[in-house]
Amino acid sequence: MSKKFEEFKLNRQILNAVEDAGFTVATPIQEQAIAPVLSGQDIFGIAETGTGKTAAYLLPMLMQLKYAQGENPRALILSPTRELAMQIADHVKMFAKYTDLRSVVVYGGIGPKTQIEQVKAGVDIIIATPGRFLDIYLAGHINTQSLRFLVLDEADKMMDMGFIGSIHRILEIVPRKRQNLLFSATMSDLVQKIAGDFLKNPTVIEAAERATPASTITQTFYEVPNFKAKINLLQHLLKNDDAVKRLIIFCKTKVVADSIFAFISRRFGAENVRVIHANKGQNTRINSINAFKEGSIRVLVATDVASRGIDVSDVSHVINFDVPIIIEDYVHRIGRTGRALATGEALTFYTESEKYYIKQIEKLIRQTIPVMPIPAEVFIEETPYEERQAMAREIDAQKRKDDPDFKGAFHEKKRVFEVKKKTDKTPAWKRKKTTKR
């Protein structure tokens, strides 16, 4: 039986805020993490996305900070993306509403002037992306001497995005005596390395098997021959309006995301869909996510830049229009649905050239996902020559990744032809004649 929040040593201000937020029973990661964090231990938390790990570290941290004090930050929470940073900042405000604790969120993509002014006005908690935090610190606007807590959220994504150098730089400028909390949905060599540099005798908490999607998510794969077939299958699935209440479609590139957005706008109305990716301005991305949260749009098309920054309950479906090349992102993408014990569906479309990553994903999550046949109503067009060639090149690249001596399909064809030529005893003039016929 899961614990109620009243059973933890949290003060009344925090418990009232938790109650206002509609939380009554702790999730597994919250149940395992809150008490050790309260007791001052370093934590290495491994939990699938969407399980409430933000509250798992925020609630006991807020309990220990208690009230506003001094001008300098006492807690620093690092996030890989601005979307996730803003999401964490929202949680801080929600849980600290009955306290006078001050928080500031800092991230790139906009000018730093306002963020610097907020920091200099006095702050207890800074939520930041690593690059912007270092920029403001090196400009002399942040004093780290009072830091008691340092949190790395989504550590695996930070490593994927190349932040390991920035993290090491930050570790050089924060007090040695502090409490460290690291949370990650998946495990990798780089995560283990940064954990070794960052944590001191940590308590390891695994709320689920590593890289395991939530059990409330139904996963389905569809093998399709080409891009047009993916579009036609998407159109067919979207016809079931009642079942698809709120949908996120993940794409590999900005170009594909814009194409999907244009398609859905034409078919189902521009008022029902938004698209977010790195080329969209900060305000556009924030407004799109807020519109999706509020339910004023039904479909959000996104690249992986947003896969960990969207905290929306009631996402009924996630569609992977493309298979992610960073296979750990599969867990984060589908984790946008089935959150907080709700049910959800995750559908993934893959072509022959994406099958390589499908096998790796199944190995990562230790599951075999059913491959459903394409419905008979879905029109399948012939794959264009250019797309066939692109897929062949991609398959060659995958084979080279596994076998550096692999020379490629073209080389193989050439070699087979030369072997055939050598073994063919027919005189050259006869072979020419035969060819002409």
Position 240 scores a pLDDT of 67
Position 437 scores a pLDDT of 43
**Is 276 buried (19+), middle (13-18) or exposed (0-12) by CB count in 10 A?**
buried
Residue 422 pLDDT > 60, yes or no? no
The CATH number that domain 217-386 falls under is 3.40.50.300
Residues in the chain, overall count: 437
How do residues 246-284 score in pLDDT, each as one tens digit?
Answer: 899 999 888 999 999 999 998 888 888 999 887 777 678
Residue 433 vs residue 358, higher pLDDT: 358
Q: Nearest-CA neighbor of 145 among 167, 178, 117, 116?
A: 178
Residue 413 pLDDT > 60, yes or no? no
Residue 27 vs residue 371, higher pLDDT: 371
Determine how β-strand 344-350 pairs with β-strand 317-320. Answer: parallel
Q: With cut-offs at 50, 70 and 90, classify the pLDDT of residue 436.
A: very low
Average per-residue pLDDT in the chain?
85
Q: What is the mean pLDDT of residues 369-373?
A: 94
Residue 395 pLDDT > 70, yes or no? yes
CB 3 within 8 A of CB 34: no
What is the Cα 60 distance to its own chain's centre? 25
Residue 355 vs residue 241, higher pLDDT: 355
Q: With cut-offs at 50, 70 and 90, classify the pLDDT of residue 173.
A: very high
Q: What is the mean pLDDT of residues 176-198?
A: 84
Q: How many distinct helices (H) and strands (E) make up the chain?
A: 17, 14
Residue spans per domain, the chain: 5-206, 217-386
Position 5 scores a pLDDT of 87
CB 264 within 8 A of CB 237: no
d(CA 90, CA 82) in angstroms, rounded, equals 12
Find the helix or strand (DSSP H, E) in which 61 lies.
Answer: helix 53-65
Q: With cut-offs at 50, 70 and 90, classify the pLDDT of residue 104.
A: very high
Position 406 scores a pLDDT of 75
Position 17 scores a pLDDT of 92
The residues, ordered by sequence, that sit 6+ positions from 122 with a Cβ below 8 Å of its Cβ are 68, 70, 71, 102
d(CA 149, CA 151) in angstroms, rounded, equals 7
Do 217-386 and 5-206 have the same topology in CATH? yes
Residue 87 vs residue 429, higher pLDDT: 87
Q: How many CB atoms within 10 Å of residue 434?
A: 9
Position 434 scores a pLDDT of 46
Position 420 scores a pLDDT of 55
Residue 201 pLDDT > 80, yes or no? yes
Position 351 scores a pLDDT of 95
Residue 210 pLDDT > 70, yes or no? no
Q: What is the mean pLDDT of residues 404-423?
A: 59
Question: CA gyration radius for the chain?
Answer: 25
Percentage of the chain exceeding pLDDT 90: 47
How do residues 34-66 score in pLDDT, each as one tens digit?
Answer: 999 999 999 998 876 667 888 999 999 999 999
Residue 337 pLDDT > 90, yes or no? no
CB 329 within 8 A of CB 361: no
Instruction: Look up residue 29 and give its two tokens.
Output: 């990661």
CB 257 within 8 A of CB 277: yes
Residue 78 vs residue 313, higher pLDDT: 78
The CATH number that domain 5-206 falls under is 3.40.50.300
Position 318 scores a pLDDT of 92
CB 234 within 8 A of CB 301: no
Position 52 scores a pLDDT of 80
Residue 144 pLDDT > 70, yes or no? yes
Instruction: Look up residue 271 and give its two tokens.
Output: 């008022």
Q: What is the mean pLDDT of residues 128-150?
A: 95
